[in-house]
Structure 1
């Protein structure tokens, strides 16, 4: 892919709010991409822009619904049962986070009030049903691994390498990203307003 132009988080927020909710009365936004691509940062900036536009926003990260490093999509049934199904029914939700240090789900349940917009960040999130809008953030493999090891430490290199190989298999045929509306450069070289702008990717 190549850079097409600059988008703004404010403009993307208006696009989200201009579309119909599909998860009950909640607009569901996916921020997909491989580990280390910059999707958490993107999701946070989009959520801030949505709040500035007057929306009540909740953010969830699929890492909080995994079983450690075992399976890319272990989060899907948990999010469906604990969050999506209640929202679809017009109810509030609750969920349990995965504790990465203890390597198990926490015992306590966290309440989640039904928002105007739910931003879900994580690998495979563009495959969710009932999406209002989907984004995918891209970055080179070497940079993604470097970012991951800076965050998690060199001791976790084997886990990172296995995870990245699993991502390669998952994204290989392109079907996982069919629902994506906006492809984003997670490693832009050009100067821009980081808090308000991002680079859009297009092409093959």
Structure 2
């Protein structure tokens, strides 16, 4: 699907209910963060990059998203998701999710359990060579030694959860017009990992 059409659909979903949830998932470098950043003016933005407990934490963050953020939020209770301090390699402060529309972005956002809490589920698709080039351009060569380690977790998550099947929209990451989204890749928030 064309990113502009997907963006319009996501904006409608976020305006559709006062506590709407939009999940944006895809593999590293696919463009999901750029896409989600374009939605930030319509609701709070939770980036799973802030919640992965280290380089081996994709599954833990996907589970914590549901158990400590989406379930409590749906019940009107405080959330208990914690930010990960990448520099200190330990948990940091709680990530407080304000009431109102919410965009969740990151690898692992579109698990089957999380999908049940979403008003719209988006998968951003892009081939591996271009994803890798984008990710290294964005995060620098410091990410290069971790690329395959992270990719193994992505493959395992995809095999287990089949996020494409849960997606309402599959967005073509090759067709991102950066002018449309108001930011060049790399100009949006990416935590600097060690």
TM-score (norm 1): 0.74
Separation of aligned partners in 2, 1:173 and 1:112: 27
Conservation of the 8 A alpha-carbon contact between 1:91 and 1:114: no
8 Å contact kept, 2:56–2:153: no
Q: Which has the larger radius of gyration?
A: 1
Equivalent position SS for 1:158: helix
In structure 2, C-alpha distance between the alignment counterparts of 1:192 and 1:103, rounded to whole Å = 33
Instruction: Kindly indicate which of the two structures has a greater share of residues assigned to helix.
Output: 2
Asked if residue 87 in structure 1 is aligned to residue 100 in structure 2, the reply is: no
How far the C-alpha of 1:11 sits from its partner, in A, is 4.2
Instruction: Give the aligned CA root-mean-square deviation in angstroms.
Output: 2.7
- Separation of aligned partners in 1, 2:65 and 2:10: 24
**Given the alignment, which residue of 147, 154, 166 partners 2:153?**
166
Counterpart pick for 1:66 among 52, 77, 80: 52
Q: What does the per-residue CA deviation read over 1:78-118, in whole Å, with 9 as the maximum and x for residues that have no partner?
A: 33343223312223435421011111111x33433222x11
User: How many residue pairs are counted as aligned between the two chains?
Assistant: 179
Cα distance in 2 for partners of 1:69, 1:181 equals 29
Could you tell me the TM-score, scaled by structure 2's length?
0.78
Contact 2:47–2:106 (CA<8 Å) still a contact in 1?
yes
**Residues 123 and 111 of structure 1: is their aligned pair in 2 closer, same or farther, counting only changes over 3 Å?**
closer
Gaps of 5+ in 2: 183-194
8 Å CA contact retained: 1:10, 1:46: no
Task: Tell me what 2:88 maps to.
Answer: 102
